Structure 1
Amino acid sequence: MKLPGGFEFQRLDARQARDLRATVEDVYTRSYVDAIASGDPFDSPEQFMQRFDSYTDSMRGRVFAMVVAYIDGKAAGQTWGWTLSPNAVWWKNFQPDAAITDRAAFTHEDGTRTFALSEIMVCAEHAGRGLARALHDYLLDGRPELRSTLLVEPDNDRAYRAYVSWGWSRVGVTKPSWPNAPTFDVLIRDLSRPDQ
């Protein structure tokens, strides 16, 4: 699909995403330049690619979806996620905000309820052109799940402001089990409302 600004989008499943592993790493290193330069092990390309491999290798029984944006034949951004399976580890360390009065009901997954949006990244040279929002919308458009969830670092002001403006709301915090993982805010977006 060709979009304004010359971008073209390609949808991929887990197998197709694994086939583009080198492209995924290239987009990551061109998107997270400052984070990688910080020296934080969690942001190293090696740990990022280990997480990517686990997302795509363990998707048996889960629906993995990825979108890559290209301009002039070169990858410019990417996003992906998957449908949470029953007993999803996504909620393992979740600490809900006070508004969530029934943690068990909120975190219950049946394999069709929640889409976990794991990553949105845009290469630095294409930032500020609306590509992140376009990737976000293209990935979530038409999803059959009732809601989507994502994790964001609380001090990532730019991303946080964007997510809130795109209809996301904070519901709690979590510290994933990944090596060197920080504590994240957990956001939710209702997918049953197309007006968001």
Structure 2
Amino acid sequence: MTQKNLPGLEFTRYTADQARQLRELVDDIYRRSYVEAIASGNLFDTPAEFLNRFDAYTNRSDTGFELVVARIHGKGAGQTWGWPLPPNARWWEGLRLNDSSSDPAAFATEDGRRTFALSEIMVCAEYTGQGVGHALHDELMGGRPEQRATLLVEPDNTRAYERYKSWGWHRVGTLRPSWPDAPDFDVLIRELR
């Protein structure tokens, strides 16, 4: 699909098997998108740890993993990916819901069709502020069959947080993933149907 509002912007979708073949491109887009985070020295944000997570996400082809790469005039400009959460998904481990009257077990019950996990969305620094992130988001999320989607965002990432809210996401709680050196994240949800 090509976006009319940004000349040369095109998207390509990839399965987990195909995504593994694009590891160098995925790494390049990460390095050009998370320049400040990488420079911070936080172990979680190092390219090596990022690629460890990417490898874990793509190591099974039966998860429904989908990668969307944005290119502008053929050059990688951004990427996003996610997958439907399977039964007994580890995604929700450590979830603390805002609403103390909600049942965390019921909220986190997955069947492979209930929740789509938007794991990553990133835009290379030279393309920020041009609508690439929103276009990537809509390309990946458009037509999803799941009931809802979830993503994690660092509470102090105000730029991303504000954008997610404007795209229909809302905060339901917090959690810290089991990845080494992972920070605390806010959990956002968006109803899909």
Task: Please report the TM-score for the alignment, with normalisation by the length of structure 1.
Answer: 0.95
Amino acid at match of 2:45: D
* Equivalent-residue separation in structure 1 for 2:26 and 2:19 (angstroms): 8
**Structure 1 stretches of 5 or more lacking a match?**
none
Match of 1:168 in 2: 169
Q: 2 CA distance for matches of 1:154 and 1:132?
A: 18
Letter in 2 for 1:74: K
Offset of residue 62 of structure 1:
1.5
- TM superposition shift of 1:60: 4.3
Give me the whole-angstrom Cα distance separating, in 1, the residues matched to 2:100 and 2:146.
22
Rounded to whole Å, the distance in 2 between the matches of 1:71 and 1:100 is: 47
Instruction: Give the equivalent residue in structure 1 for 2:46.
Output: 44
Is the aligned partner of 1:67 residue 2:68?
A: yes
Q: What's the counterpart of residue 27 of structure 1?
A: 29
Aligned partners of 2:17 and 2:61 also within 8 Å: no
Letter paired with 2:130: R
Tell me the equivalent position of 2:158: 157
Q: Spell out, residue by residue over 1:71-112, the C-alpha distance to the aligned partner (whole angstroms, 9 max, x if none).
A: 111110000000000000001111111265111111100111
SS in structure 2 of the partner of residue 90 of structure 1? helix
Tell me, yes or no, if the aligned pair for 2:14 and 2:66 is still in contact at 8 Å.
yes
Q: State whether residues 100 and 171 of structure 1, in contact with CA within 8 Å, keep that contact through their aligned partners in structure 2.
A: no
Work out the CA distance in 1 between the residues paired with 2:102 and 2:40. Answer: 38
Aligned-partner residue type, residue 43 of structure 2: P
Distance 1:60 1:89 in 2: 17
Percent sequence identity is 61
Conserved 8 A contact 2:84-2:115: yes
Equivalences for residues 97-116 of structure 1 within 5 A: 97-98=98-99, 101-116=102-117
Secondary structure at the counterpart of residue 139 of structure 2: helix
Q: Which residue of 1 aligns with 2:19?
A: 17
CA distance in 2, matches of 1:100, 1:25: 42
Specify the SS of the correspondent of 1:77.
strand
> In the alignment, which residue of structure 1 is the partner of 2:182?
181
The size of the alignment, in residue pairs, is: 191
Whether the 8 Å contact between 1:100 and 1:106 is mirrored in structure 2 is no
Please give the root-mean-square deviation of Cα atoms over the aligned residues, in Å.
0.9
Question: Is this contact kept in 1: 2:15–2:61, CA < 8 A?
Answer: no
Counterpart position of 1:132: 133
Partner of 1:3: 3
- SS of the residue 2:18 aligns to: helix
The equivalent residue for 1:90 is 91
TM-score (norm 2): 0.97
Q: Which runs of 5+ in 2 are unaligned?
A: none
Structure 1 runs of 4+ with >3 Å offset: none
